[in-house]
Amino acid sequence: MSAKKYAILMACAAALLCAGCAISPDVESRRQAIEADIDEILSLPLDPAEVGAVKSCLSDNEYRNFRPLGDRHILFEGRRDRQWVNTLRGRCHDLRHDGVLVMRSFSSTRMCNADRFQVTDWFSSPWYRRWPWHWGGWGTGATCVLGKFRPVTEAQVQEIEALLDTW
């Protein structure tokens, strides 16, 4: 095959690959509408005496579990029925219910706003029997960045989950 034909073939393959990754305008507008609705739910005023204040960091002993709410929010379930939603600084397409989040932080006992993490498969982790947050240098997913930890009520979480179920 000549170099010219090879170059044309590679250009066509690249164009087809990019076209396959494109998101339709309807899907993207629906995603943006859901994200706007979630942001509105999270902006509802709450009594800080009842649920606490927005936090820049969560220590290891403040939460006991996490679960993703879509690809831009993570719910942290804490002790004494406390809950926080972290709105990531961008979408994290690798979030899934069976993932391990590998943190890259300046502290080994807490996670903070602007800390980075990667999502990896639970069983690809050498420590798969341990708590699902790990501090270390391994990971297989895209790098994602945490935002602030906003306290939420159970009713807010249910509204967000109902929105995501319509997706």
> Tokens for 9?
């073939």
Instruction: Identify whether the C-beta of residue 86 lies closer than 8 Å to the C-beta of residue 76.
Output: yes
Which one is predicted more confidently, 63 or 131? 63
Average pLDDT, the chain: 79
Cβ neighbour number for residue 144 with a 10 Å cutoff: 22
Displacement of CA 70 from its chain's centroid (Å): 7
Enumerate the domain spans of the chain.
Answer: 3-166
pLDDT in tens, 19-42: 555 567 888 888 889 999 999 999
pLDDT in tens, 38-95: 999 999 888 888 888 999 999 988 988 888 898 899 999 998 889 999 999 998 877 7
Q: How far apart are CA 100 and CA 96, in angstroms?
A: 9
